[in-house]
Structure 1
């Protein structure tokens, strides 16, 4: 591997930032600063965008088969970095090794492979009654990614954008930027042309803003909070750039009456507690029948010991620290707010000390009203809100009473669950133990975003349609 964390990657070369400054990367489990990356600036962004702009004409006209061939080679190289990826995810995010292996590493290979397979089958040309329609690449794509899934969110943007003939400037989170270096190194070693992918690290307020407003950027693809996404999109739309936003969520999990609740606990706890609750799709609102409240509370307490908190390098540990001190303080403030709003803490505690890592034990609040802030705002930590309902109509009403609409789940009789799922205003809904389908479109309703990732929809997101009226009647 030829990468250097203290370099940027611009126009096919690892190079110094013009700023001469660096950002320290902290291990949230030990508070050790173990690496640093350049604090890129507007000059670095301009160089990267210019490189991507110059590379676009040639790359956009490269045969799709050649792009796919290079991507397969990249994936082969990237898969050889498995151990290093896992090591870095544990260090930079604090994700337990037990979770990092599958979710932060192997699953990203699966996603990449899925995009490659879909790209081989995707029709980019088709005929209508009096015209031909072509799906063409958009241009230079600014990919701005968050810290909670450092590699996964990069893969969801960079792979489909490049497969579709676009060029990319990637700005990973300043808090968890390291695994992005491994991906870019794999692109470099696979022989992608200079300028097709560029990496600039830095603070979002400087690098992100410079990227979003650059006149040669044609599209902005952003994953992060709704608040930041709204600001970035406003800046992008000043020059009418294409935007794709994957934002926040406050996802409901409805347990239908008389369901086998014990079988649903694992899916619930995996969603809200793994990755320390730092998942936009987390089932943070559990909606249960009022008549079964006591039974369900006992079940939740019964299974909670299956999710131990501690050193993320320990294979037995399922929950590591939060990603940063800012996250620790934010989540702690919401836990205190839960008490103030009148919710009852069934499990957990108010964290008080982060001198030995940013650890927060899982918190379960019951007696929660959907009007409470802890039930309406995205906490982004291991905090579950349990809300009761009287009947199915009320459950659906509560589920939809949110500004978000990213994810949801329904557990119980399959036919009834599907009918309920169809009435939930969310881009994704799970039924019982249904697994994630990487080929399905992923994205949100309402304030959870604009656009879709995954499969054919994720590829088409990085194209634009051109109609040519060529069916002459003469």
Structure 2
């Protein structure tokens, strides 16, 4: 049993400092309620201190050479590597991730470092253009990265790494629901011997610390991953100072199975993709859209796949997915399942309550409804739980219409044995990231959404350019 952590300081200006804030949160395991630790949350005054440190550091860091930035990224990566096993262990305990998923998130973190170093080494920050003028790309300034709890370390680094590569300085504000992972990452960054104020981490609540960071006149950009409500609140706070706001928010991923798809192969993969991390993934394919005349076949395959999933403790190698994050998340998922049942949506497997062998912890049953009405709440609202909706279509036009019948537009999926058909459908789906036949993830491909799923892109060269301003220099 690991001893509880007490994170009583904030990482500001290259040093661990005592916070002005006095609010303390307890962090408990979502699997069994064990006390994992406590964290002191910073307040608006702590936010001001972090901004001052980042602003002071920006003066010199914005003028750093590419070689200096590459050296810093290499030191950050090496320091991350030393703490990766501890971070993975803590992701299992604090978030409820399985070992495989925690290791996958570490892999993504390494990929952000490696991809950005490759891009930075060859990126054209200054270009002579036809017509006799020059385009110069410069760092935007002080960046605040606000992250959610479901993939905390990956989210912090997928923002901080390109921002630092661009010549910006960074303040990370993790979710107050997962404050301990951020502290462990800050320990790694402290070991990297970074320029003071380049990377700062302030735990705090959105209503005070987050609000102050978003509104602060010396902050030039906010990058937030979170809920639609959280993104809207940040944008409203940032509006008076006209700062750039990048948002990666919710999703309601459509997964279209075209008639020529290999149903026996793709339906089980679709169920697993939907329910990984207990469905707490904004890009999860939560709406399985299938030909009406194949519904019975799809339902049988999906139910068998869901019933084959093992829900259990995150540290058990046999576990497919662990618990939901906390009581509020558990209650929300249960409420949406209850609403669907009461509304007459056909329940195929799972349903209310915990699995029979798990009387405690925030565990939810793998749940499938179908065929679901396209306008049902379970098919339009982001559940963020292990819940799959099966919807049916009569022709491809209707499939695309159903896929686009959402306020979200983050990720979508198409399954087909015909590449031309799949690409034709992908071109019509209103989402920022469309995956055909579940290809491997790559850090080089941009990720972001349409509509209420946010704006801007993360990863690759597009992620770097989010943190740059474009200057035109023209002379007679």
TM value normalised by structure 2: 0.96
- The equivalent residue for 2:199 is 197
**3-state SS, counterpart of residue 194 of structure 2:** coil
- The equivalent residue for 1:245 is 247
My pick for the range that moved more, 8-17 or 349-358, is: 349-358
- Using the TM superposition, give the Cα deviation of residue 4 of structure 1 relative to its aligned residue in structure 2, in angstroms: 7.0
8 A Cα contact 2:171 2:201, kept in partner: yes
- The equivalent residue for 1:141 is 143
8 A Cα contact 1:98 1:316, kept in partner: no
**3-state SS, counterpart of residue 437 of structure 1:** coil
- Using the TM superposition, give the Cα deviation of residue 112 of structure 1 relative to its aligned residue in structure 2, in angstroms: 2.1
- Using the TM superposition, give the Cα deviation of residue 305 of structure 1 relative to its aligned residue in structure 2, in angstroms: 3.6
Which structure 1 segments of 5+ residues have no match? Answer: none
- The equivalent residue for 1:419 is 424
- The equivalent residue for 2:62 is 60
- Using the TM superposition, give the Cα deviation of residue 424 of structure 1 relative to its aligned residue in structure 2, in angstroms: 0.5
**3-state SS, counterpart of residue 445 of structure 2:** coil
- The equivalent residue for 2:461 is 456
- Using the TM superposition, give the Cα deviation of residue 237 of structure 1 relative to its aligned residue in structure 2, in angstroms: 1.1
CA–CA distance in structure 1, aligned partners of residues 113 and 359 of structure 2 = 38
- Within the candidate set 384, 389, 395, 1:385 is matched to 389
1:287 corresponds to 2:289: yes
> Matches of residues 29-428 of structure 1 in structure 2 within 5 Å?
29-102=31-104, 104-128=105-129, 129-351=131-353, 356-412=360-416, 413-428=418-433
8 A Cα contact 1:98 1:317, kept in partner: no
1:98–1:434: structure 2 CA closer, same or farther, 3 Å change rule? closer
**3-state SS, counterpart of residue 255 of structure 2:** strand
**3-state SS, counterpart of residue 264 of structure 1:** helix
- Using the TM superposition, give the Cα deviation of residue 21 of structure 1 relative to its aligned residue in structure 2, in angstroms: 3.3
CA–CA distance in structure 1, aligned partners of residues 374 and 22 of structure 2 = 49
**3-state SS, counterpart of residue 238 of structure 1:** helix
CA–CA distance in structure 1, aligned partners of residues 248 and 345 of structure 2 = 30
Deviation track 1:211-253 (CA, whole Å, cap 9, x = no partner) reads: 1111111111111111220121011011101110001111100
8 A Cα contact 2:268 2:302, kept in partner: no
- The equivalent residue for 1:468 is 473
1:440 corresponds to 2:441: no
- Using the TM superposition, give the Cα deviation of residue 33 of structure 1 relative to its aligned residue in structure 2, in angstroms: 2.0
**3-state SS, counterpart of residue 75 of structure 1:** helix
- Using the TM superposition, give the Cα deviation of residue 436 of structure 1 relative to its aligned residue in structure 2, in angstroms: 2.0
8 A Cα contact 1:98 1:318, kept in partner: no
8 A Cα contact 1:23 1:202, kept in partner: no
- Using the TM superposition, give the Cα deviation of residue 316 of structure 1 relative to its aligned residue in structure 2, in angstroms: 1.1
Deviation track 1:50-75 (CA, whole Å, cap 9, x = no partner) reads: 01011101010011211111111210
CA–CA distance in structure 1, aligned partners of residues 450 and 125 of structure 2 = 26
1:79–1:306: structure 2 CA closer, same or farther, 3 Å change rule? farther
TM value normalised by structure 1: 0.96
Which structure 2 segments of 5+ residues have no match? Answer: none
**3-state SS, counterpart of residue 428 of structure 2:** coil
8 A Cα contact 1:276 1:321, kept in partner: yes
8 A Cα contact 2:163 2:467, kept in partner: yes
Q: CA RMSD in A?
A: 1.5
8 A Cα contact 1:99 1:318, kept in partner: no
CA–CA distance in structure 2, aligned partners of residues 322 and 338 of structure 1 = 19
- Using the TM superposition, give the Cα deviation of residue 352 of structure 1 relative to its aligned residue in structure 2, in angstroms: 6.1
8 A Cα contact 2:112 2:161, kept in partner: no
8 A Cα contact 2:303 2:349, kept in partner: yes
CA–CA distance in structure 2, aligned partners of residues 368 and 84 of structure 1 = 42
8 A Cα contact 1:49 1:169, kept in partner: yes
Deviation track 1:364-388 (CA, whole Å, cap 9, x = no partner) reads: 0002011111111111111101000
